[in-house]
Structure 1
Amino acid sequence: MTSSVLPTYNRAPLHFVKGEGAWLIEEDGRRFLDLGSGIAVNALGHANPELVQVLTEQAGKLWHVSNLYEIPQQEALATALTDNTFADRVFFTNSGTEACELAVKMARKYWYEKGQPEKVEIITFSGSFHGRSSAAIAAAGSEKMVKGFGPVLGGFQHVDWGDHDGFHAAINENTAAILIEPVQGEGGIRPLPDQCLQGLRKLCDEKGILLILDEVQCGVGRTGKLFAHEWADVTPDIMMVAKGIGGGFPLGAVLATEEASSGMVVGTHGSTYGGNPLGCAVGKAVIDRIADEGFLDTVRARAGLLRQRLEGLVASHPDVFEGVRGLGLMLGLRCRIAPADVVKAGYDAEVITVPAADNVLRLLPPLNITEDEIAEAITRLDRAATALESR
């Protein structure tokens, strides 16, 4: 009998029934070390006791009222975000895809209100991933994303990653914004060098262009800073956030400066569920924990340990792995074989990883993974690589 679920995913034959920190328990009792975190979502691990308590307490009070009314939990989370970032304003969504939709609308509305309605073009980059909505797939522009879904939303200029000449040639009088991930996730864990992000910020200032950063995957402590752009000591005008911000609860946000968000007034955007009391209560607990500098110090230390051990793994299995790249606990193993084969071998070794483009295997463990769990992760990845070599 076929499943009633729409078959848009090639699902692994695993049925997880419980999670504990960095661990997932299959219904047959096997314990898998989760280095995927639901694709960088479970930033504080599965069933984190603090988040469970916050969610349970809020669930006993109020779940949903809609944005027709003021929501104290939403205001508290927005204040925590503006206190810890460049932003003056926050709009809450349910996902990163929804955040992309608003970021695009916000940039274009900004220029419309400035009397320049022709400034609608947004420059994006190859290998990017901004979601699955019409605007998000148009922004990415790859054939894989847009094929069969035309007509594709216009107003995007696509530039090859690292093509400086092509990038400068794409800028014109109708350019409204540049949209880029500080670290590409789906594109293969490709960090944008600090000097390049600094150069983008300078160029945007010189040309009067808005800078939109997509930190859906690389934000909320994933790289060892609260947000990845902090490594380059720059700030965007608009930023997309999701995944880790809810610690597993569906939550996203768009953060923006007062100036960049000035066109978004009453009636210009909305969300039925966005910013609900449940999600914002959990999100506030997540931000309070991760924004703490002591916590981020530990993330950076664990990231250094994991990277060191991964370098050793690569050296031990040169026929399987080529190298390590990434920032913080957003790391990639570039493979000499199909990453999907490594993922499957990992299932046999009871370790969860995530494939990406450019022959890369993503490692996105919970930010509070322990040193012992890192050691166990390497043991299981070693076991998977050894099995692949023996085939």
Structure 2
Amino acid sequence: MTAACLMTTYQPLALSFARGLGTRLWDQQGREYLDAVAGVAVTNVGHSHPRLVTAISEQAGLLLHTSNLYGIDWQQRLAQRLARLSGLDQAFFNNSGAEANETALKLARLHGWKKGIEQPLVVVMENAFHGRTLGTMAASDGPSVRLGFQRLPGDFIKVGFGDLTALDTVTREFGARIVAVLLEPIQGESGVQPAPPGYLKALRAHCSQRGWLLMLDEIQTGIGRTGTWFAFQQEGIVPDVMTLAKGLGNGIPIGACLARTSVAKLFTPGSHGSTFGGNPLACRVGYTVLDIIEEQGLLENAARQGERLLARLRVELSEHPQVLAIRGRGLMIGIELATPQRDLAERAAREQGVLLNVTRGKVIRLLPPLTLDSKEVEMIVRAIARLL
């Protein structure tokens, strides 16, 4: 197999899969692997779920695309379902997380324009990651992501994640121009860093008091990953805007930006759009994913197995000299190591038959399907213990 005709934007392992089922994948030679990555928090209900296979097959034989020039029934049904689950009101569908975040940033700009702010600013977090378009890169942090792409569009102010004092400082200095705060409830790419307890609630109060939009990027944390439909629900708040992707389609590309009615109505016909966004196939799959999560009790399973996995990792690894911290929520867990381990993912696959991800060079990131069971928890713990 050669990748000579592909642009060198990835450095894939020398590993390719032929099929998957549930939490397992099989390579071209037939070797079985436990998938603790789930396509980077995508296949939340597992590989080749029979309900999804049926939905995709049926919809492919009925209708794939008409464009948003016409009403799309599955789009309307999925929007209504997500609104009910989230407490938000309206949705815009597109094809990816980065597009969803671009949608949110356009809403922030319109919010500022409506208030007469000519040069609006959005507060974002240090070590954040929101996508790889020019706009979402500007809202992200990390020199490796941004290298070679300056000068980036957009006006953003970065503050320390979880630092309310820093937020007060920029409020005093730039408050008249600030229109929104954009953040991840748990920073995924930077090593599974949860927001401190009470931080989201304090941000909600801060934004409400000043007329700013609270915009949450739940692309990685949403659709049950942390044990609730959305991570913000664990803080007892509702944002003004939320973005989703990844687990919503279980591998079928779909993104969504949800907003309160007062924010959503800033869009008017022609101010935003997508050729493929919200097509019948993607939206039917998204709706079916929500059905599966509810019917199989996967929110509860993610919370229960996540607690078990965290506890077992802490028992097995807390005294290990390489392990600095073990943190996470639900089935989104990071193990921070003292030194970079760049071949760890390859070794885990080759030696243990377990797929895991290493982010920022030295944080093992675990994002298994929400269908994980207690035996598979032990397999993951045993594999990591042996590797370290």
Taking structure 2 as the reference length, the TM-score comes to 0.95
> Does the Cα contact within 8 Å between 2:127 and 2:141 map onto a contact in 1?
no
Counterparts of 2:197 and 2:269, CA distance in 1: 37
Residue by residue, what CA displacement relative to the aligned partner does 1:249-278 show, whole Å, maximum 9, x if unpaired?
A: 111100000011121011110001100111
> Does the Cα contact within 8 Å between 2:227 and 2:303 map onto a contact in 1?
yes
Counterparts of 1:107 and 1:45, CA distance in 2: 35
1:58 has 2:54 as partner: no
SS at match of 1:325: strand
> Does the Cα contact within 8 Å between 1:19 and 1:46 map onto a contact in 2?
yes
SS at match of 2:131: coil
SS at match of 1:260: helix
How much does 1:292 deviate? Answer: 5.8
> Does the Cα contact within 8 Å between 1:35 and 1:353 map onto a contact in 2?
yes
Q: Which stretch of structure 1 is more off in the superposition, 74-83 or 318-327?
A: 318-327
> Does the Cα contact within 8 Å between 1:80 and 1:288 map onto a contact in 2?
no
The corresponding residue for 1:388 is none
The corresponding residue for 2:337 is 335
The corresponding residue for 2:97 is 96
Counterparts of 2:154 and 2:60, CA distance in 1: 42
1:16 has 2:21 as partner: no
Counterparts of 2:318 and 2:162, CA distance in 1: 28
Q: 2:239 aligns with which of 213, 236, 258?
A: 236
SS at match of 1:90: strand
The corresponding residue for 1:107 is 108
1:258 has 2:261 as partner: yes
The corresponding residue for 1:181 is 184
1:135 has 2:138 as partner: no
> Does the Cα contact within 8 Å between 1:251 and 1:279 map onto a contact in 2?
yes
Letter in 2 for 1:17: A
Counterparts of 1:296 and 1:9, CA distance in 2: 32
How much does 1:358 deviate? Answer: 7.4
Unmatched runs of 5 consecutive residues or more in structure 2: none
Summarize the alignment of residues 174-253 of structure 1 with structure 2, pairs less than 5 Å apart: 174-253=177-256
Q: 1:375 aligns with which of 375, 378, 383?
A: 378
Letter in 1 for 2:333: L
Letter in 2 for 1:125: M
Q: 1:308 aligns with which of 305, 308, 311?
A: 311
The corresponding residue for 2:275 is 272
Summarize the alignment of residues 15-94 of structure 1 with structure 2, pairs less than 5 Å apart: 15-94=16-95
Counterparts of 2:341 and 2:159, CA distance in 1: 26
Unmatched runs of 5 consecutive residues or more in structure 1: 386-391
Letter in 1 for 2:218: E
> Does the Cα contact within 8 Å between 1:23 and 1:46 map onto a contact in 2?
yes
How much does 1:144 deviate? Answer: 2.1
Counterparts of 2:6 and 2:128, CA distance in 1: 28
> Does the Cα contact within 8 Å between 2:342 and 2:358 map onto a contact in 1?
yes
Counterparts of 1:294 and 1:217, CA distance in 2: 20
How much does 1:339 deviate? Answer: 3.7
Counterparts of 1:65 and 1:82, CA distance in 2: 24
Letter in 2 for 1:140: S
1:146 has 2:149 as partner: no
Change in 2 beyond 3 A, CA 1:191/1:358: farther
Counterparts of 1:358 and 1:328, CA distance in 2: 23
Counterparts of 2:306 and 2:223, CA distance in 1: 15
How much does 1:117 deviate? Answer: 3.4
Counterparts of 2:311 and 2:166, CA distance in 1: 36
Q: 1:284 aligns with which of 263, 267, 287?
A: 287
Counterparts of 2:225 and 2:236, CA distance in 1: 17
1:356 has 2:336 as partner: no
Taking structure 1 as the reference length, the TM-score comes to 0.94
Q: Which stretch of structure 1 is more off in the superposition, 342-351 or 201-210?
A: 342-351
> Does the Cα contact within 8 Å between 1:177 and 1:211 map onto a contact in 2?
yes
Residue by residue, what CA displacement relative to the aligned partner does 1:93-132 show, whole Å, maximum 9, x if unpaired?
A: 11000001100001111232x2413252100011100000
How much does 1:241 deviate? Answer: 0.4
Change in 2 beyond 3 A, CA 1:101/1:361: same
Q: Among the aligned pairs, what percent are the same residue?
A: 37
Letter in 2 for 1:341: D
The corresponding residue for 1:389 is none
Change in 2 beyond 3 A, CA 1:292/1:177: farther
Letter in 1 for 2:347: A
Letter in 1 for 2:339: I
How much does 1:221 deviate? Answer: 0.3
How much does 1:2 deviate? Answer: 5.8
Matched residue count: 383
